[in-house]
A and B are shown apart, each in its own frame.
Chain A
Amino acid sequence: MIKAVIIDDERNSRDIISLMLEKYCPQVEIVATASDCADGIATIREFQPELVFLDLEMPDGTGFDVLLGTQDVPPFEAVFVTAFEKKFLHTIRFSEVEIILKPIDRESLTTAISIISARLAAGKSKERYKVLLGNFNNGRNTSTELVLPQLEGDDKTIALATVTYLEAFGDKTLFYLDDHHQIQANRPFRYYADLFSTLRFYQVNNLQMVQMSQIGHVSMEGGNVVMRNGVTLEIAERRKKDLLLHLKQYK
C-alpha cells in the first residue's frame, strides 16, 4: 500500500480524487487530506506520506510552496492535480513530475499511479523535485534544467543551455550536448518538439531540432547550419528562410 495525502482547496476535488483512487487504484491509501498550503505542510509532516496529490493553486499559495515547505521531511513522490497546467507547463514537464488534469480521467490517474509505484518500488531518486523547485524559482532563464527519463536506472538531469540539438531516434529522442556527449531520452521526438516549440529552439528538418543560441552560422548555399561546436546539420529546403527570420528575431 502506498501512503498518500491529498492537498486541495476544493472539497469536491478532494472527494473525487479519493473516490477514484478507491475505485481504480486500490494500492493507494489516503491517509489524510488538507485544504490549503499551511494545512498541507502540517499534514505531510504529520503523516510522512510516500505520495502527495497536490493542487497547484490554492488561496494561500501554490503546490510549489508545499514542496518548499517540506524539504526537511523525508522525500516523497508528488502528483500535481490541476485544472489548468499552462502557467507552469515547462516547469513541470522539464522535471518529469507527474501531473493529472481535472476533470480527472481514469487513464491518466492509473498511468500516473503505476509510474509512481514503479519508481517507489525501484527506489529511484527524488532528484526531480529539486529540479522542479529550481526551475520554478529561476523562471525561464539559462540555468533551467531538464530531466531526461531513462529506460533503466535513474533519470539524467542536464542543463537546457548545453543542448546543441536533439534528434529523433525511433520512439526515443537523442540529445546532443555541446561537449559532443549524447543522451537518450525515453520520450518521442514529437513530445520534445512540441514542448520546445515556444522556446528558442528551431526544427531544422523532420528529425532534428537545434537550440538557436548554439548556432554558429548558417550556410545558405550549402543548405546547412553549423553549430558552435562544429557539428553541421542539414536544413530542410522550405525552412531556410524561416530559420533566418527566427534567427533575426532571436538576436
Chain B
Amino acid sequence: MIRIFFLLLLFCYSNIAKGNITAKDTLATDFDNLPPGLDLRPWLLSIEDMEGQVTLQQVPTLNFSHNVSLFHDSKKNNGKGHDCWLRLSVKNTGSEDSVVTLFAGWHDHMYWYVQEGRQLQLLVQTGMMHDREDIRRWEHYAFPVKVPPGQTRTFYLHINNQFFNENPLMPVLYDAMQYNNFRNATLAHFRKEAAMIFMLLGMLLVCLTIAIINYIQLPDRSYLYFAAYMLGLILFFALRLDSKPYQLSIFYNWPMLKYYWDVPALLFCFYLMYLAFGKSFLNLQERYPFMERLFNIFASCIGGIIIICFYCIARGLYQVPGMIYSYVYLATLLPLLAVFAALAKRSRHHPLVRFFLFGSLCFYMASFGSFLMLIRPLGLISALGELSAPSLLIIIGVLMQSMFFLAGLSYRNKLVHHERTRTQELLIKQLNKNKELQHKLNEQLEELVKEQTTEILRKKQELEEQRKIHLETEYNKKLTEIELKAIRAQINPHFIFNCLNSIQLFVMQRDYEYAQKYLSDFSYLIRKTLDFSRRNFISLADEIAYLNTYLGLEKMRFENKMEYELAVDPLIATAELEIPAMLLQPYVENAVKYGMTNSRDHIGQLLIQFNQVEPDMLECLIEDNGIGINRSKSMRTLPKHHQSSGMEISSNRAELLNKMYNTGIHIDIIDKSEKNSVESGTIVRILIPQL
C-alpha cells in the first residue's frame, strides 16, 4: 500500500516537473510582445557530449533531442564534468528584427553559434575560465538572438563545464528591457553578497592581524595555526567571489584557483588547522596525551587527503575531492561530537576548553544547520559541497568560532602572562631571598672578620705588652746586674778589708776612740753604698757627703800620704740637684789610687770640683797629681787578663743611664801631661745634664 502511495507521489512529482512543458522544435513567436522571462526549455533540443569527440562540423547533422533534466535553476552537483550542445530554432513571426537575449547562467566555457547553411558561425565565446583580460564579464553571458522578420534561424549553445558542481543552467529569453531589469536585479543581489563577503573578509583580516600581532608579541604556536586558519578562510571566501562573474572578483587571472581551493580549503581550515590549533591551544600534549595522539593521526590523515585532492584536481578529476569531502564530513560528524564531549568531561574546569568548545560547537551547529537547510533545495550530495558557501548561517558560525578562538587565545595569553608574572614574582622573591641571604652572609662574614681583627689586635697588644714586660724585666735585670757590679766595683773589697784591718789595728793598739770613729764612718759608708746602689739618682748633697766620708776613710788608711779637697760651686743648690748614684765613686777611687803613685810628689793631691757650666749642665772634675793615666797604664805590669774594670763599669753604667733616661752624661778622661809637660796627673771630667 505504502509502496503504491510512494509511486504515486513520485509520479505526481515528475508530472509537476514535466507536465507543463510541451516540447516543440521551433520557437515561433512575435518578438514585439515577448512574454517576460520566457522559459526556453520546451524549445531547446540538446545533445550531451560524453566523450568530448563531437566536432563543429558534425553538430548540425547530429540528432538533438529534448532533455529537460539537463536544466536546473540552482547549483547542481553532477558528479562529473558536463559538456552539452543546445539547439534553438527561432522563427520570427513579427514584422521587425528580433532583438532579444538568451541567458543560460554562468559556465566555464560557453560558445554561441548560428547556423549558416551547413556551417556553424561562432558569434560569442565566453566562460568563467575564459574571460581574463576584461573583468567586465557580466555582459558576455547575454547571447544575442537576432532573427529577421519572417525568417527562421537555428542557434547552437555549446556549454562545457569541467567542475562537478554546475551553476544554474536555466535558459531564459529576454527582450532588451527585460534583460536590463534582470541584470540590475542580479547585480544588486550580487553586490549585497559581495559586500557580505567583503565584510566577512575584513573581519577575518582583523582576526588574522590580531593573531599575527599577538604571535609577534608572544611566540605561541596556536597563534600560527589560528592565523593559518584565518588565511585559509580568507582565501576561500575571496575565491567565492570568483564563482560568479562578480566585477569585484580578485583572482580572475587565476580562475583555476577556485577549483583548487574549494574542497581542500574546507579540509584545510575546518579539519587540519582546526585540529592543529586545538592541539596546541589546549596544550593537549600535557593535558590529554591520548587526545593529542588522536588529533595528530587525524590531522596527518587530513593532510594526506588534501594532497590527494590537489592531485585529483590537477588531473581534472574535480568530483573526487567533493566525494571525499562528503564522506569525511559525514564520517566526522559523530566522532567530533564525541571528542567535544570527551574534552568537556576531561577538562571541565579548564577555561580554555570552554572557549574551544563553544567556538567549535558554534561552527558545528552552523555547518550542520546549513547542511540541513541545503538538503532540501540541493539534495543530499549537493548540499555537502555547498556547506561553506557564504550563507549567513555559516558566516555567523565562522565568525563566532573565530571570536571564541580569538578570545580563547587572549585568555590563554592572559594565563601565560599570569604564569609569567607569577614566575617572575617567584623569581624576584627568590632573588630577594638570595640577596637577603647574601646580605646576611656578608654581615656574618664582616662580623667574623671584625671579631678576628679585634682578636688579632688584642693578641698583638698582648704580645706587645708581653714584649714590653719582657724588655722591662730584661732591662731591670741588666740594671740590677750593673748595680751589683757597681757595688762590687765601688766597695772595693780591698778597701773594705783594709778598713777593717785598720780598725783591728786600732783595737789592738787600744786606740778605741779612733777605732770607733773609723768604724762608724765605715758603717755609714757601707749603708749609704747599699742604699744608693738601689737608686738611680741621688741628690748632689748626698753624693758630696758620701765622697767626703769615703775620702776621710781613705785618708785615714794612708795617713798623710794623700790630701783631698771638695770644692762645690756656691751657686749650686746641692740638695735639689740630682745626679746618678754611684757614678763618681769609681773615678774618685782611681784618683786616690793613682794619685799616690807619683814619685816626685809623695803626697797625693786630690781635687774634686762641682761646677755649673751651663744652666742645665753640671760639671764634675776629679783631678789628681799622680803620674797620669797614660804612664800609669804603660807602667802596669799586670798582664792584660788581670786588668781592673771599675772605671769600665762606671762608663757602662753612664751609657745605660743615658739610654734609660735619655740623658747625655758625658765622661772625659784627660792626662794632664798631654796639655802641659810640666804637670802630671789625670783629670776626669764628667758632664751631667740636668733634667
Contact = CB atoms under 8 A, between A and B. Distances in A.
A13 B637 contact: no
A230 interface: no
Given A19-B508, A57-B494, A102 B501 contact: yes
Contact of B493 (A60, A84, A103): A84
25 contacts: A10-B501, A11-B559, A12-B498, A12-B557, A15-B505, A16-B508, A19-B508, A20-B508, A59-B594, A59-B596, A60-B597, A60-B635, A64-B637, A65-B637, A83-B496, A83-B501, A84-B492, A84-B497, A102-B497, A102-B500, A102-B501, A103-B497, A103-B500, A103-B504, A137-B639
Q: Which of B496, B635, B638, B639 has the most CB of A within 10 A?
A: B638
Contacts of B637: 61-62, 64-65
B642 interface: yes
Interface residues of B, number: 28
Q: Which of B497, B509, B593, B594 has the most CB of A within 10 A?
A: B497
A84 B489 CA distance: 13
A176 interface: no
Contacts of A11: 559
| Interface size, A (range) | 20 to 34
A21 to B, nearest CB: 12
A101 interface: yes
B453 to A, nearest CB: 43
B502 interface: yes
B526 to A, nearest CB: 15
A240 B559 CA distance: 57
Contacts of A59: 593-594, 596-597
Q: Which of B503, B505, B637, B642 has the most CB of A within 10 A?
A: B505
A238 interface: no
A124 interface: no
Contacts of B503: 103
Contacts of B505: 12, 15-16, 19
B653 to A, nearest CB: 21
B493 to A, nearest CB: 4
Given A19-B508, A59-B593, A65-B637, A87 B642 contact: yes
Contacts of A12: 498, 501-502, 505, 557
Interface in B469-514: 492-498, 500-505, 508-509
B610 to A, nearest CB: 27
Nearest to B508: A19
B11 interface: no
Q: Which of B501, B509, B635, B641 has the most CB of A within 10 A?
A: B501
A104 interface: yes
B518 to A, nearest CB: 10
A62 B501 contact: no
B558 interface: yes
Interface string A1-36: 000000000111101100110000000000000000
A19 B557 CA distance: 17
Contacts of B497: 83-84, 101-103
A31 to B, nearest CB: 21
Contacts of A15: 505, 509
A10 B641 contact: no
